[in-house]
Amino acid sequence: MEDLNLNENGLIPAIIQDDQTNQVLMLGYMNKEALEKTLEGPDVWFYSRSRQEMWHKGATSGNYLKVQSVMKDCENNSLLVRVKPMGPTCHTGNITCFYRKYPEED
């Protein structure tokens, strides 16, 4: 983990992608502990910037993200986590958090 470029808050962005469909599901942030727990598996963990605490994705909703692989980018400053989702990823009930076009059309 020493080779990863964490930001000034000790976090690294993690893009979450469906391993089967290749659809981007969400973006979250991990600290060292969240990354360690994610690498141990079987589920993805994040660090919640708003709540300032660890977050086990799916612990409340049951919509866990099962880790398939973790990759780092060429500059060691972001992660790609390929997962098998156990239900919708977004808290709104959508499959992905990226369901709204920007800018929005009339």
Q: Residue 94 falls within a domain, yes or no? A: no
Residues in Cβ contact with 97 at an 8 Å cutoff, skipping those fewer than 6 apart: 25, 26, 27, 89, 90
Domain count, the chain: 1
CATH number reported for the structural domain that contains residue 58 in this entry: 3.10.20.810
DSSP state of 35: H
| Residue 91 belongs to some domain of the structure | no
Tell me, what's the pLDDT at 78? 98
Is residue 106 included in any domain, yes or no? Answer: no
Q: Is the confidence at residue 105, as pLDDT, over 90? A: no
Chain segment 1-57, per-residue pLDDT in tens: 789 999 999 999 999 999 999 999 999 999 999 999 999 999 999 999 999 999 999
pLDDT of 29: 98
**Mean pLDDT computed over 75-92:** 97
d(CA 46, CA 34): 5
Mean pLDDT to the nearest integer, 88-99: 96
Which residues form the domain of 38? 12-85
- The predicted pLDDT at position 106 comes to 66
Does 95 reside within a domain? no
